[in-house]
Amino acid sequence: MSAARDSQARRALSALRHDPPAVAGAVVLLALVVVGTAGRWLAPAGVNDVDVDQMLHPPSWAHPFGTDELGRDVLSRVLVAARVSLEVGVVSVGIALLVGAGIGLVAGYYRGWVDNVLMRGMDVLFAFPVLLLAVAIVAVLGPGLLTAMIAIGVVYTPIFARVTRAGVLSVREQVFVRAAVSIGASDLRIIRRHVLPNIAAPLIVQTSLSLAFAILSEAALSFLGLGIQPPAPAWGRMLFDGRGFVTEAWWLGFFPGAAIFLTVLAFNLVGDALRDVLDPRQLTLGEASRSTT
Amino acid sequence: MSAEVVAELDDLKVWFPVAGGAVRAVDGVSLRIHPGETLGLVGESGSGKSTTGLALLRLVDPTTGRVRVAGQDVTGWSRRRLRGVRRKVAMVFQDPQASLDPRHTVAASVAEPLVVHRLGGDADARRRRVAELLDLVGLRPELGGRHPHELSGGQRQRVGIARALAGEPDLIVLDEPIASLDLSVQAQIMNLLRRLQRELGLTYLFISHDLAAVEHMSDRVAVMYLGRIVETGSPAQLWQQPAHPYTAALLSAIPEADPAVERHRRRIILAGDIPSPVDPPSGCRFRTRCPSARPDCADTDPGLDPVTGDHRAACLYAGEAVREMRATPTP
């Protein structure tokens, strides 16, 4: 079991190494994690150090990303905000993965009316535009970091439910599942030992892609003033605050925007590469060629 | 009675609903499997032989009829209640590649019945038991750490057999266990199955469309056609004196190894395809393809009646029809 995972992980890693965009994405993500955990100490200035003599200064040696309308160092704020973006991404996608995969597993494995009720519920969520639904949830729960995480988690739950259910539907028809039933294995055992390991690949891919969208959604919510509240820094919020100065101080919007762009791009690159490597069909092809050689 | 019967099907019907009716995959099958014997179930694809095997394991639900296993009527039992009985009846599947979880090692697959039924003691004892089972089916215990894709087809099927043996079942349903294997490997697996039967006193339901394999393996044979058993008896009775025209036609399709005999072999060519199981013919199901069908074959549905001793056939003109067919020269 663990050997299977190891060998598959090794194969996936070695394939990823020969994929330059994926390597670039991974490097950016690694840097992001470092900045996210250590940003507070990397930042040259405090995020809320107001300096009225330094208002709206363009990028310089003292302030590489310039200063904002209150004289705060934009570089420091961008670095510290990385933590918020990562937190929101991980927590909200974690919620979506747990709830969505749970719903998809139950719906796909038991089918019948349970499937209908659960998946129609997911369809209703899916029918709303992502941002509209997130805004509605935040409006109900009140703005803030935690509610933004919950809202984004709820918004991405249907995708995970669908991906999981599709995987479960195909795996549960496999002969080895029928063999497990004939042995007398319980549903819980079949789901844990046979179904989940065989649908892990698409879930991993979906997770990495959703992380990108979740960070984007947080930026959008913060931009609308519904995410993290000032004066705490968040990329989306900084973009929002910078829009009033777009003609005289481009750096206010440019650097947080670039940070969002790079992060989303990195997650997408890694996610696409993972999809190529972990695609079940490619896996079978790889295994087939291995067994014939 | 239950002492001499390992498993029993009583007027089993398995119908699958489709638009405008139902596919009558199994339509009134009764059979008994006695301890230590191999009952061969033979028929062309679509005859319902695999569904019969699945119904015996309650892997498909019977529409009507009873399923008795190990002396208990398990017909209406829930999946949870069936779990205890599952140990008594094991199954070996046609495609060993598909029947083994690609992510599990050989040892994990073989150990699954032990884990599920809490047999074999602690992890150490279980490892020893798995090694013993692998040895029993002719695999080196080191293969336990491999994954199915690292094995050959024959090795995979041996793993499937080891898994079936793990729970020490009374009956093993062998669903086309050799159909997806190379010819040379087929013989090895059949010999393995016979050796295991001798050594462990196993009972088999051997499902196959391979007549030579069925003759080689079976103590008794049941021939299925369109969801019904049309003839039962010993291989000798069926091969030498088939009483049902369908059996005779099936057997006439076996080529002879000797070219001189093969040249004069008389084949019975059946017209047309197997009829739709949604709407089977009235009366005798075989009459639409039977070379010696008579008018009253459309009115009376023949029961499985004795020909001699325990040789039974479901034909109104059992024996007579076959003689007539053989007398007619092949076109």
Can you give the pLDDT at residue B76?
86
Distance (Å) from the alpha carbon of A284 to chain B's nearest alpha carbon? 9
Amino acid making up residue B259: P
Neighbouring residues of A229: CB distance < 8 A, sequence distance ≥ 6: A143, A144, A145
In the predicted model, what is the mean pLDDT of residues A66-92? 85
Task: Check whether A284 has a pLDDT greater than 60.
Answer: no
Contact A184 B117 (CB under 8 A): yes
Got the DSSP string for B267-329?
P-PPPSPPPPTTSPPSSSTTTTT-TT--GGGGT-----EEEETTEEE--TTTTHHHHHHHHSP
In the predicted model, what is the mean pLDDT of residues B1-19? 83
Got the DSSP string for A177-224?
HHHHHHHT--HHHIIIIIIHHHHHHHHHHHHHHHHHHHHHHHHHHHHT
Residue with tokens 């004066």: A231
First to last CA, chain B: 49
Contact A175 B82 (CB under 8 A): no
- Name the strand (E) or helix (H) holding B229: strand B228-233
Residue of chain A minimizing CA distance to B55: A182
Mutate to test the interface with A, among B87, B94, B112, B118 (most CBs of A within 10 A): B112
Mutate to test the interface with B, among A11, A175, A287 (most CBs of B within 10 A): A175
A32, A14 Cβ separation under 8 angstroms? no
Residues of A in contact with B116 (CB under 8 A): 183-186, 189
As beta bridge partners, residue B8 has B32, B68
Can you give the pLDDT at residue A166?
93
Contact A176 B98 (CB under 8 A): yes
Q: Does B107 touch chain A (CB under 8 A)?
A: no
Contact A182 B86 (CB under 8 A): yes
Residue of chain B minimizing CA distance to A172: B101
Q: Does B123 touch chain A (CB under 8 A)?
A: no
Can you give the pLDDT at residue A8?
62
**B224, B215, B208, B133: which is closest to B174 by C-alpha?**
B208
Distance (Å) from the alpha carbon of A142 to chain B's nearest alpha carbon? 45
Identify which of B99, B108, B167 has the shortest CB distance to residue A175: B99
Query: What does the pLDDT look like over B57-68, one tens digit per residue?
Result: 999 999 999 999
Query: What does the pLDDT look like over B105-123, one tens digit per residue?
Result: 999 999 999 999 988 788 8
List the single range of A185-194, A222-231, B79-88, B120-129 with lowest mean pLDDT. Answer: A222-231
Q: Does B309 touch chain A (CB under 8 A)?
A: no
Query: What does the pLDDT look like over A207-237, one tens digit per residue?
Result: 888 888 888 888 888 888 887 777 788 888 8
As beta bridge partners, residue B24 has B15
Query: What does the pLDDT look like over A35-63, one tens digit per residue?
Result: 888 877 777 777 777 777 777 777 888 78
C-alpha triplet A4, A8, A10: angle, nearest 5°: 120
B118, B103 Cβ separation under 8 angstroms? no
Query: What does the pLDDT look like over B153-169, one tens digit per residue?
Result: 999 999 999 999 999 99
Query: What does the pLDDT look like over B266-308, one tens digit per residue?
Result: 777 777 778 888 888 888 889 888 888 888 888 888 888 888 8
Question: 10 Å Cβ neighbour count for A248?
Answer: 10
CB pairs under 8 A between A and B: 79
Identify which of A4, A178, A181 has the shortest CB distance to residue B103: A4
- Cα separation of B325 and B330, whole Å? 9
Distance (Å) from the alpha carbon of B90 to chain A's nearest alpha carbon? 7
Can you give the pLDDT at residue A282?
46
Neighbouring residues of A214: CB distance < 8 A, sequence distance ≥ 6: A88, A89, A92, A93, A96, A152, A156
Residue with tokens 């919020």: A237
Q: Which residue did the predictor score with more confidence, A5 or B191? A: B191
Q: Using CA atoms in the order B118, B121, B124, B127, what is the torsion angle rounded to 10 degrees?
A: -50
Q: Does B150 touch chain A (CB under 8 A)?
A: yes
**B279, B210, B288, B252: which is closest to B23 by C-alpha?**
B279
List the single range of A1-5, A25-29, A76-80, B293-297 with lowest mean pLDDT. Answer: A1-5
Contact A182 B90 (CB under 8 A): yes
List the single range of A111-120, A169-178, A275-284 with lowest mean pLDDT. Answer: A275-284
pLDDT confidence band for B317 (50 / 70 / 90): confident
Task: Check whether A287 has a pLDDT greater than 80.
Answer: no
Can you give the pLDDT at residue B165?
95
Chain B from 67 to 96: CB within 8 A of any A CB: 79-80, 82-87, 89-91, 93, 95
B71, B1 Cβ separation under 8 angstroms? no
Task: Check whether A279 has a pLDDT greater than 70.
Answer: no
B271: tokens are: 């017209």
In the predicted model, what is the mean pLDDT of residues B239-261? 85
In the predicted model, what is the mean pLDDT of residues A247-266? 88
A288: tokens are: 């087939």
Contact B101 A198 (CB under 8 A): yes
- Cα separation of A231 and A70, whole Å? 11
Residue of chain B minimizing CA distance to A289: B149
pLDDT confidence band for A2 (50 / 70 / 90): very low
pLDDT confidence band for A289 (50 / 70 / 90): very low
Report DSSP state, residue A232: S
pLDDT confidence band for A102 (50 / 70 / 90): very high
ipTM rounded to 2 decimals: 0.87
Residues of A in contact with B99 (CB under 8 A): 175-176, 178-179
Question: 10 Å Cβ neighbour count for B306?
Answer: 12
In the predicted model, what is the mean pLDDT of residues A262-270? 88
Query: What does the pLDDT look like over A120-151, one tens digit per residue?
Result: 999 998 888 888 888 898 889 888 888 889 99
Whole-Å CA distances, A139 to A131, A133, A143, A235, B210: 12, 10, 7, 21, 69
**Could you give all domains of chain A from N- to C-terminal order, each with its CATH number?**
2-292 (1.10.3720.10)
Can you give the pLDDT at residue B329?
58
B316, B300 Cβ separation under 8 angstroms? yes
Cα A195 to the chain's mean position, in Å? 24
Neighbouring residues of A23: CB distance < 8 A, sequence distance ≥ 6: A16, A17
Torsions phi, psi of A65, nearest 5?
A: -105, 10
Can you give the pLDDT at residue B194?
94
As beta bridge partners, residue B38 has B204
Contact B98 A181 (CB under 8 A): no
Task: Check whether A1 has a pLDDT greater than 70.
Answer: no
B324: tokens are: 């007539």
